[in-house]
Each structure stands twice: as C-alpha cells, then as structure tokens.
C-alpha cells in the first residue's frame, strides 16, 4: 500500500542522525518490553511476519512516527491483537488509565477471531518448481502498480527499468501472506537500477539493488 | 485506539505496561520468556558477531571466499544464525567500491550478525534519503568518499539480508584476529563508516 512506511526517496525528514557507538540496544526499558511483547504477540494473534509489517504500515502518521521504532512496534502489536479479538480495542487504554490511578471500566474480553492461517514450513524460504522467468543480466521493468494491500515493491522503483543481478532463493509472497491468502512462493531477484533511471539526470551517480518478487516484474521488450 | 494519534495519547511506557499485564494475567505470554528475548539481544546477539566474521575473512582468504560465495553458510560456520538471518548476502567494500545497506519499507537488518538496528538506521531521514543521495548522506554521517568510488545501495525489501565486509585498514598487518575483531564497527558493516586502524 502507498502509506507512511514506504519512505524511499521521500522528502522532508531533515538530516540523518549521527551514529553513536555508545547507544544502548534499548534506550528505555519499555522499548525492550515492547520488542519482546510484539514478537510473542505475532504468535498469540495468529499473525506472521508479513502481517506484522502490514500492521505497521496501516498505522497513521502519528502512530507510526511519534514514539519512534518501538512505538510503532507497540502500536502494530496492539493492532494485531485487536484484529484477532484477543483484546478489545479499548482494553490497553483503559488498563493504562487504571495504572495511573484513574477509575475506568475495562471492556470485556472478546471472543477471539484469529485469522485462518498456518505456515506450511518455518521461515520464508520455499521451493518453487517452475524455472525463473527472468535471467541474470536481463533487463526488467518494475511494474507501475499501487496495490491496496501489502506489498514489498517500493514506490520509488515502480515503472523503472533495471537489470537482474542475482536470483535469490524463492520465498513466500508477502502480498498474499500478509493477508492470510496463501504463501504463493515466487522467485526473488536482486535488480540493479542506475540512479539516473530512478531520480533523473541530476542525480548523484550510484547504483541501487532491491529484491523484487517475480510478479513485481515485467519484460521490457 | 492507537491507530489514531491524539494529543492526550497515553505514553508508550505506560501502554506497554498495560499490554504486558493484560496478556500475562490471561496466561497468553510468559514474562520470563520476554526477559530472555531482551537479555539475548542486549548481551549475545550484537555487532561483535559480525566483527568476528569480518576479522576471520580478513585473516583467512578461503573463509573470505566462502563468505562472499554463500554468506549464510559461512556465517553459520561461526555459529551465527536465527531470526532475520535466513539468507545473508555479503558484499565487499574496497578502495573503489562502496556498498551501503538500508531498508526503506521498515528497518530490516541482519540480526544474527549485527543485533538490533541502531537509531540512525531506523530513522526516516536515513530510510528516505540514502536511496536518493547516498554520497550526501554518507558525508553527513562523517564518511567522505572520493568522487571515483562507485557506490551501491542495497535496499533490503525481501527476507534477503545484507552484510558489508569492510575494507581492512592499512597498518593492521601485524594484528591478530582477536585484535582485528575489536576494530570492526557496526557502522562499517552497514556501510556508513570505514574501519580505522588503531
């Protein structure tokens, strides 16, 4: 989907943060708790890694950005749990208010409604019987499409032409896996693009590779 | 509901505590398992793993070749594998070729060798800009590259993860593998810095 998460090439973010070798893994204790809670909640809610990423990209701008990386994990975690009716939508807010001394009635526990989903194997790599549709060195174009649901086709490469650099192990397709509509494994290609193809004649000279699933690509001829 | 921001949003720390309570009191999660996850990423799974891989590649040409041919297998030889490391591709930086890694869509990162990503990697400015003006971004981050250095940016959009094998600095010929490990930084293994001689 074309949302806040698809950041490649977007403007208005200011300078990059300076690297620091002193940075702790979790800057504040809640960040570690949110990290662990989220990893466990993917299982509790019956979700998968792609559905978790889709939960993140469904957050609004404020929920995605305001409390940083683990803030968006926390918000996506709650969204997964409410989607699966493990929690009522108002449950976390109500409990948090009670924790800080308010007297709030908490909503009843709903009847869980987990997605009808089970993986066929661990991880994301899968065997695909069909031969790859594209060969190393072949020119390919990233399709110019804007799916309403989850995709791992970044906006900034859509419609642009590159060259297949590597054929990576086949993997399940995030576009359907995130929606519990099947693993649909596909071949994955590292496609190399020139900076001027992506950003025009005034771009810095550099190359970029990005992993694209077979259904994201079309022949140029 | 948390998908909509509002000015009276309850702070994340308190919402985290509330969420943990709600799941724990129903027996849906075990706080001891949470503690293990947190401790593991605070102490065991971090850039020291990647530095061990790099130092070995610098001192063992056959290992270096295996690492570049099949990163996942060569990294597993040293005992590093797990979440976010199903398939790791290693690319080598040299005097004339510079690789740098990003994930524009979220913040995918090779956890088994580098641990969890640092703030700058997860920051929108890095995610948005390094695929558009990498030379300028690297300069802002303190890395000036000569004009004739070819830059390749790797956007980690699938489950493939990228690790940069930094260039071994001059003046380190006499150092042992253990001493080299201490020189290798996380930032160099993502490609926003070079390894400096001591």
CA-CA distance, A215 to A208, in Å (whole number)? 20
Check residue A221 and give its pLDDT: 76
Report chain B's C-alpha Rg in angstroms: 19
**d(CA B67, nearest CA chain A) in Å:** 16
Q: For A139-151, what is the mean pLDDT?
A: 97
Q: What SS3 class is residue A189? A: strand
Residues B112, B18, single domain; the answer is: no
> Is residue B1 pLDDT above 80, yes or no?
no
How confident is the model over B14-66, as pLDDT tens digits? 999 999 999 999 999 999 999 999 999 999 999 999 999 999 999 999 999 99
The 3-state DSSP composition of chain B as helix, strand, coil percent (nearest 5) reads 45, 10, 40
Does the residue B1 lie in any domain?
A: no
Structural domain boundaries enclosing B31: 11-43
Look up the CATH number of the domain holding residue B123.
3.90.330.10
Cβ distance B105 to A5 less than 8 Å, yes or no, reads yes
Closest residue on chain A to B105 (Cα): A6
Q: Is A176 helix (H, G, I), strand (E, B) or coil?
A: helix
Question: Is B38 in the same domain as B52?
Answer: no
Ordered by start, the domain boundaries in chain A are: 1-114, 139-219
- Establish if B2 belongs to a structural domain: no
From CA A17, how far away is CA B145, in angstroms rounded?
A: 19
Q: How many domains does chain B have?
A: 2
A63-94 pLDDT tens trace: 999 999 999 999 999 999 999 999 999 999 99
> Does residue B6 form part of some domain?
no
pLDDT at B4 over 80: no
What dotted CATH number matches A1-114? 1.10.472.20
Domain A139-219 has CATH 2.60.120.10: no
Q: What is the pLDDT of residues A8-44, one digit of tens each?
A: 999 999 999 999 888 999 999 999 999 999 999 999 9
CA distance B109 to A74: 19
In a domain, B128, yes or no: yes
Residues B56 and B127 in one domain: yes
End-to-end, the C-alpha distance of chain A in Å comes to: 28
Q: How far apart are CA B102 and CA B107, in angstroms?
A: 7
User: Nearest residue of A to residue B42 by CA position?
Assistant: A25
At A86-128, the pLDDT tens digits run 999 999 999 999 999 999 999 999 999 999 999 999 999 999 9
Token duo for residue A111? 């009847």
Q: Is B153 in CB contact (< 8 Å) with chain A?
A: yes
Shared domain for B54 and B37, answered yes or no, is: no
Chain B positions in Cβ-Cβ contact with residue A188 (cut-off 8 Å): 158, 160
Residue A137 gets which letter from DSSP?
A: T
Q: What pLDDT, on the 0 to 100 scale, is given for residue A21?
A: 83
Whether B86 and B165 share a structural domain: yes
Residues B27 and B111 in one domain: no
Q: Let me know whether B39 and B88 are in one domain.
A: no
CB of B100 closer than 8 Å to CB of B192: yes
Token digits of residue B107: 């913040």
The residue of chain A nearest to residue B161, with distances taken between CA atoms, is A211
Residue B3 is assigned to a structural domain of this protein: no
Q: How confident is the model at residue B5 (pLDDT cuts 50, 70, 90)?
A: very low
pLDDT tens digits for B123-175?
999 999 999 999 999 999 999 999 999 999 999 999 999 999 999 999 999 99
Residue B6: per-residue pLDDT: 46
pLDDT band at B9 (very low <50, low <70, confident <90, very high): confident
Among A158, A159, A185, which Cα is nearest to A174's?
Answer: A185
Same domain (yes/no): B17, B59: no
User: What is the per-residue pLDDT for A22?
Assistant: 86
A163 touches chain B (CB under 8 A): no
Judge if B39 and B54 occupy the same domain: no
Catalytic residue numbers of B, as ranges: 103, 106-108
| pTM for this model (two decimals) | 0.97
CA-CA distance, A48 to A196, in Å (whole number)?
Answer: 37
Verify that B163 and B96 share a domain, yes or no.
Answer: yes
Q: Do both B83 and B146 map to the same domain? A: yes
- Calculate how close chain A gets to B52, using CA atoms only, in Å: 17
CA distance to partner chain B, nearest, from residue A135 (Å): 18
The answer to whether residue A15 neighbours chain B at the CB level (below 8 Å) is yes
For a pLDDT cut of 70, what percent of chain B falls above it?
Answer: 96
> ipTM of the assembly?
0.97
Q: What is the pLDDT of residues B82-109, one digit of tens each?
A: 999 999 999 999 999 999 999 999 999 9
* A chain contacts of residue B16, beta-carbon cutoff 8 Å: 30, 33-34, 37, 74
Interface of B with A in 47-86 (CB under 8 A): 86
Q: Given a cut of 50, is residue B2 above it in pLDDT?
A: no
Model confidence pLDDT, tens digit, residues A154-185: 999 999 999 999 999 999 999 999 999 999 99
Look at residues B46, B48, B61 and name the one whose alpha carbon lies nearest to residue B181: B48
B51 contacts in A (CB within 8 Å)? none
């Amino acid at each position: 989907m074309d949302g806040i998460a698809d950041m490649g090439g977007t403007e208005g973010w200011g300078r990059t943060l300076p690297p620091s070798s002193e940075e702790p893994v979790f800057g504040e204790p809640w960040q570690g708790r949110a990290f662990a809670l989220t990893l466990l909640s993917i299982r509790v809610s019956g979700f998968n890694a792609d559905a978790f990423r889709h939960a993140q990209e469904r957050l609004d701008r404020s929920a995605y950005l305001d409390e940083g990386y683990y803030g968006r994990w926390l918000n996506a975690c709650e969204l997964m749990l409410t989607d699966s009716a493990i929690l009522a939508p108002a449950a976390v807010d109500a409990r948090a208010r009670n924790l800080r001394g308010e007297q709030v009635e908490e909503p009843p526990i709903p009847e869980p409604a987990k997605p009808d989903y089970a993986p066929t194997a661990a991880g994301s790599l899968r065997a695909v019987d069909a031969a790859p549709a594209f060969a190393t060195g072949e020119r390919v174009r990233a399709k110019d499409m804007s799916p309403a649901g989850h995709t791992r086709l970044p906006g900034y490469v859509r419609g642009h032409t590159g060259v297949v650099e590597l054929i990576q192990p086949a993997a399940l397709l995030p576009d359907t896996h995130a929606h519990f509509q099947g693993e649909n494994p596909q071949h994955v290609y590292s496609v190399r693009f020139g900076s001027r193809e992506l950003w025009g004649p005034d771009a810095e000279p550099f190359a970029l590779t990005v992993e694209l699933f077979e259904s994201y690509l079309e022949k140029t001829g | 509901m948390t998908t909509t921001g509002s000015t009276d949003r309850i702070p994340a720390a308190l919402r985290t505590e509330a969420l943990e309570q709600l799941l724990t009191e129903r027996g849906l999660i075990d706080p001891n398992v949470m503690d293990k996850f947190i401790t593991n990423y605070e102490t065991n799974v971090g850039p020291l793993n990647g530095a061990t891989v790099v130092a070995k590649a610098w001192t063992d040409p056959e290992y270096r070749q295996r690492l570049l041919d099949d990163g996942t297998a060569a990294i597993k030889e040293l005992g590093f594998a797990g979440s976010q490391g199903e398939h790791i591709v290693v690319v080598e930086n040299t005097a004339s070729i510079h690789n740098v890694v990003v994930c524009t869509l979220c913040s995918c990162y090779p956890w088994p060798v580098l641990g969890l990503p640092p703030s700058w990697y997860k920051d929108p400015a890095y995610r948005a800009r390094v695929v558009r003006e990498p030379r300028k971004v690297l300069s802002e981050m303190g890395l000036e590259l000569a004009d004739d250095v070819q830059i390749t940016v790797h956007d980690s959009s699938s489950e493939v993860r990228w690790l940069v094998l930094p260039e071994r600095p001059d003046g380190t010929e006499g150092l042992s593998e253990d001493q080299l490990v201490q020189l290798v930084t996380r930032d160099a293994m993502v490609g926003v810095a070079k390894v400096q001689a001591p």
